[in-house]
Amino acid sequence: MKHRVHLRDLGQMRFAAAWALQEELFEAMVARKIARRRAGLGETEEHPDLDLALPEGHLLFVEHPHVVTLGKSGKEAHLVASKEQLERLGVEYFPINRGGDITYHGPGQLVGYPLLDLDQIFTDIGRYMRTLEEAIIRTCAEYGLETSRIEGLTGVWLDADKGLAARKIAALGVKSSRWVTMHGFAFNVAPDLKFFDLIVPCGIQGRGVTSLEQELGREVSMIEVQNRVHRHLRELFDWEEI
């Protein structure tokens, strides 16, 4: 049976509220898995008791007001701006529990938070990350942009083979426990790229950041991009939407 996943478009939401929602959904999924294991059920075994049914996943789409987040493996030195400068610009700051380094979220950026039970899909975090990247690579291709990966780095890049000329268009950072995921990806559709000057994006020195609109030289519909990313994620992970 396919993993059952709820789609939720949160619209514009401050980071703290979206993080709290993620934590609530994540903890409920993990608690369900613990209860099932205590009942002696297999990872994909069906059960008529709703309290022991397979965990259902969630895909949250959101656009955040200006915020900088620092992953648990990141370095605060990669925050170039002072806390006073962030406050003047109206940029919030949160050290959080995802992997990865420092990143910026803001208006014009499509953020996706898949909360999935990988026991129902595949238990491979590396493959999971590459699959998230692939959804964005395929979306960019629909706009005529060739994007790819850089070995040893996460994210999606233009001109990935051109050294310091490479430009990142999407960043990734996730958390996983008991094969349940949270956090996800940030796809630069049309953000104000000047805000990336506040940080060393993802802790990677010397490489640039770009957006879909900057590369295309025209406006792009956020909902159109979201729908395309959503379609590719659904096809690649082969879940059942509910």
Exposure of 37 in the CB half-sphere (CA atoms within 13 A):
9
Range of the domain at 127: 4-241
pTM above 0.75, yes or no: yes
pLDDT digits (tens, 9 = 90+) for 141-181: 999 999 999 999 899 999 999 988 899 999 999 999 999 99
pLDDT digits (tens, 9 = 90+) for 70-125: 988 778 889 999 989 999 999 999 998 898 889 999 999 999 999 999 999 999 99
Q: How many domains does the chain have?
A: 1
**Sheet with strand 92-95: strands edge to edge:** 92-95, 67-70, 102-105
Contacts 24+ apart (CB under 8 A), 78-87: 78/102, 78/199, 78/200, 78/203, 79/198, 79/199, 80/197, 80/198, 80/199, 80/200, 81/198, 81/199, 85/198, 86/198
Q: CA angle at residue 118 from 114 to 123, to 5 degrees?
A: 135
Query: Has 202 been annotated as catalytic?
Result: yes
Single out the catalytic residue among 5, 110, 202, 233: 202
> What gap in Å lies between CA 120 and CA 131, rounded to an integer?
15
Q: Return all residues near 107 (Cβ < 8 A) that are at least 6 apart.
A: 12, 63, 64, 65, 66, 191, 192
- Mean pLDDT score of the chain: 95
List the CATH number of the domain containing 47: 3.30.930.10
Report percent pLDDT > 90 for the chain. 86
Closest CA to 97 of 78, 113, 118, 117: 113
> What gap in Å lies between CA 194 and CA 210, rounded to an integer?
10
